[in-house]
A and B are shown apart, each in its own frame.
Chain A
Amino acid sequence: MGLLSSNFYDFFGIEHKLNLDLKDLEKRFYSLSRQWHPDKFTLKSAEEQQQALDATAILNDGYRTLRDPLARAEYLLKEHGFDIGEQGAKNVPPELLEEVFELNMALEELRGGDESARGGLEEARNRFVAMREGIDSELQEKFVEYDRAKDRNVLAQIRTILNRRRYVRNLVNEVEKELAGAVA
């Protein structure tokens, strides 16, 4: 890749932060696209075409990652050597144990054809959605905290919150799938 950095933050020429100005990010994306898009290199040499292709792939992958707060946080965590994977979301966060146990019971009942479980499930879904919103504002606070102090301990906390969020998201998806499936 030569002079081009494959680090997303560096490619966009922005500071490695968790809160980003999305308008500014978009502006940079458009301007870098004008510079690197393969359309501008169609009649150039094979090497130049390949470089444009590589550069735009980084640009597009980077924009997709950086504009989404969760993907951005995961990217920055990885940059700092934190292991991020679906694995973390498989362990039940201890504070949710009881809730999840009850939820699984209700899901079983609904699958078994017990329609009376529906009301309880809808309630559970609303509770989990509210929980997810709570987690999001908690994350937002941590983002601000990290950007101020660049403290590695804050990143560790963010990772724990991200895992919990992923777990809750999976729960919401599962309940919604079950509710939708039961209707059909």
Chain B
Amino acid sequence: MTPLQIDFGNAERVVGIDLGTTNSLIAFLDATGHPAVIPGADGDKLVPSVVTLTRKGEIVVGNKARAALIDEPDRTVYSIKRLMGRGVADIQEELKLFPFRVAQGSEAVIRVELGERQFTPPEVSAFILRQLKQNAEKFLGETVSKAVITVPAYFNDAQRQATKDAGRIAGLEVLRLVNEPTAAALAYGLDKRRDGIVAVYDLGGGTFDISILKLHDGIFEVLATNGDTHLGGDDIDNRLMQIALEDIHTDWGKDISHYGDAVQTLRRAVIEAKERLSFAPVTNIELNYKGKHYQREITRELFEKLIADIVDRTLGPCRACIQDAGVTPEQIDEVVLVGGSTRIPMVRNAVETLFRAKPHTDLNPDEVVALGAAVQAGILSGAVENQLLLDVTPLSLGIETMGGVVSKLIHRNSTIPASATETFTTAVDGQRNVLIHVLQGEREMVKDNRSLARFDLKEIDPLPAGMARIEVRFLIDANGILNVTARDARTGKEQSVDVKPSYGLTDEQVEAMISESIDRAEEDFNTRQAAEARVEADRILAAVDKAKQNDAYLELSDEERREMARALNELLVVYHGDDHLLIRAKIDQLNNATMKLAENMINTAVTGALKGTKI
């Protein structure tokens, strides 16, 4: 019925997403099997991880939201990744440095305020994901529903779970969470190297990871990983902010640190100065605010003095990682740099000194993680066949035992999936419940580790103390997320387990957010439908344009040509509207109006072929 349309097929597409602290990117495997980053509507490949709620109640993400940081600081949030999977108690330090407006009553689940509304960190991240999804759908001309999302290797269970929740809220099926440095290694290995030992040093906007991998014939085996989930470019910016704010206080006799717009303008200025210092030995920090002017010179020497301890803080995890990997620095063939902060010469020098090797900088440190995520997406969809990632869990998993001591069940740097089975029993006669407290971390005492969840083994058969035998299996899956199952070892019967996560959202809460976002997404949905219809319209318009060059067009009657022109115009009229049904109706109308032309073209082609001439 529609001879002019092109069939794109229905192969399941999986995209790769780098959900970063500062910027986020979405990438896919192109027809030649190479990963490529998809640009947004503004042509920018980097989507700033900034979300704003406009006064009209619209959510805006990316460059436009970044502009709102200055105009509408109270309705805008950035670096939300720092709050993912965390509790109010552990973000007190962040609150001193970042203008997060945490809502009242955030004890159980953190909520940040954007104007008059409140959102959990996974919801804010979901806004970013939804924007990326839309960019990809527009670019690819098809619906995107499956994704691989990257996370810092050193993210704990709660932070991973929160990222997965964000994907679900955004309407994405998250097929896999991949560690950022591992993703980078995948992109790098595909590009440059097949065998050897590679270290990936990843200093992002808010997180630091170091991973050491063994590459062998398409297998990327992570030997060890280490890091700090609260160390990155943001911290460097804050050092510069501090001296600039103090200067301004002295110069102007005024503390501007409580004026959101001034702080954000200054932040932009120090980030730009920081970036210039990677290339120039000296630069200026400048601020114009309400008719006042501030300027100070900053040398690279002073800059390096200010950030020396931050750079230093990355070296401890590097040394621990080398040791855990069981290699010497000499055995490491190459170091790959990831993250914008690795452009800083001082960072490069520190890495070079520690690893005794010149770091590899051919790949764009901003894009390499997203490209790797797209490769992993290809592995999952079957498009990439010979590569396989074997990743590890960054933190040991243990349970609380007597006296507040942690008994480790799965050690850090174990290849995942990894499992451990423990048998539990009761302490008093007739006891029906056993509570298991699961923790993540390397320290001996419960209080020094990260509480993951409490598992309540319920409805245990009433027996004399010590007689019950409940076998509990702890399994860390390929996403680095814990799954717990239990069975009664005597009866073999499945034992019910009630999970109370220490941080983050329960399944019910996520479900509620999904349905809420579906309500709110109705408009989004319409917008997307219209966008998809426009993509289809583009195809037919292009095809008609081309067909007009064909001799067959001249063979049409005037009436037929007029009919076609009218259908074409009507489609163009509705093209920019939001009504996808109308656009589709006009597409069909144009299709019908060009039916005769298509037939003529086929006939001309046949006649041409019979004559042996080219048409």
Point out residues on A near B: beta carbons under 8 Å.
30, 33-34, 37-39, 42-43, 53, 56-58, 60-61, 63-64
Contact = CB atoms under 8 A, between A and B. Distances in A.
Q: List the 5 closest pairs (A to B, CB-CB), nearest first.
A: A57-B419, A60-B415, A42-B380, A57-B417, A38-B478
A57 B418 contact: yes
B216 A57 contact: no
Given A30-B216, A33-B388, A34-B388, A43 B415 contact: no
Interface string B375-401: 010011110000011100000000000
A60 B12 contact: no
Nearest to A31: B219
A56 B176 contact: no
Given A57-B417, A60-B416, A43 B380 contact: yes
SS class, residues of chain A in contact with chain B: helix
25 contacts: A30-B216, A30-B217, A30-B219, A33-B219, A33-B388, A33-B390, A37-B388, A37-B478, A38-B417, A38-B477, A39-B176, A39-B376, A39-B379, A39-B380, A42-B175, A42-B380, A42-B381, A53-B417, A53-B477, A56-B417, A60-B414, A60-B415, A60-B416, A61-B418, A64-B418
A64 B415 contact: yes
Interface of B: 12, 175-176, 216-217, 219, 376, 379-382, 388-390, 414-420, 475, 477-478
Contact of A39 (B216, B389, B415, B418): B389
Contacts of A30: 216-217, 219
Nearest to B475: A57
A60 B388 CA distance: 14
B476 to A, nearest CB: 9
Contacts, number: 52
A8 B595 CA distance: 67
B419 A61 contact: yes
Contacts of B415: 60, 63-64
Contacts of A33: 219, 388, 390
B134 to A, nearest CB: 24
Contacts of B417: 38, 53, 56-57, 60
A42 B176 contact: yes
Contacts of B388: 33-34, 37, 39
Contacts of A37: 388, 390, 478
A34 B415 CA distance: 14
A43 B176 contact: no
B12 A43 contact: yes
Contacts of B418: 57, 60-61, 64
Contacts of B416: 60
A63 to B, nearest CB: 7
Contacts of A38: 417, 477-478
B380 to A, nearest CB: 4
Nearest to B384: A39
Given A42-B175, A60-B417, 19 more contacts: A30-B217, A30-B219, A37-B388, A39-B176, A39-B376, A39-B379, A39-B388, A39-B389, A42-B380, A43-B12, A43-B380, A53-B417, A56-B478, A57-B418, A57-B475, A60-B415, A60-B418, A61-B418, A61-B419
Contacts of A39: 176, 376, 379-380, 388-389, 478
Contact of B381 (A43, A63, A64): A43
A56 to B, nearest CB: 5
A46 B218 CA distance: 27
Contacts of A58: 419
B294 to A, nearest CB: 43
Nearest to A55: B417
B52 to A, nearest CB: 35
A38 B475 CA distance: 13
Contacts of A34: 219, 388
A22 B416 CA distance: 20
A111 to B, nearest CB: 18
Most chain-B CB neighbours within 10 Å: which of A30, A33, A39, A61?
Answer: A39
Contacts of B414: 60, 64
Nearest to B476: A57
A117 to B, nearest CB: 25
Contacts of B477: 38, 53
A22 B419 CA distance: 22
Contacts of A61: 418-420
A42 B379 CA distance: 10
A58 B415 CA distance: 11
Contacts of A42: 175-176, 380-381
Contacts of A43: 12, 380-382
Nearest to A63: B415
A30 B215 CA distance: 11
A134 B376 CA distance: 47
A39 B384 CA distance: 11
Nearest to A64: B414
A63 B376 CA distance: 24
A64 B411 CA distance: 10
A173 B418 CA distance: 27
A37 B419 CA distance: 15
Contacts of B381: 42-43
Contacts of B176: 39, 42
A60 to B, nearest CB: 4
A37 B389 CA distance: 9
A57 B216 CA distance: 21
A152 B357 CA distance: 51
A43 B216 CA distance: 26
A155 B5 CA distance: 74
Most chain-B CB neighbours within 10 Å: which of A30, A56, A57?
Answer: A57
A26 B70 CA distance: 56
Contacts of B219: 30, 33-34
B403 to A, nearest CB: 15
Contacts of B12: 43
A53 B473 CA distance: 13
Most chain-A CB neighbours within 10 Å: which of B219, B417, B420?
Answer: B417
B467 to A, nearest CB: 21
A53 B483 CA distance: 11
A58 B379 CA distance: 22
B546 to A, nearest CB: 37
Contacts of B380: 39, 42-43
A37 B379 CA distance: 11
Nearest to B148: A42
Nearest to B390: A33
B167 to A, nearest CB: 14
A34 B416 CA distance: 14
B147 to A, nearest CB: 12
Contacts of A56: 417, 478
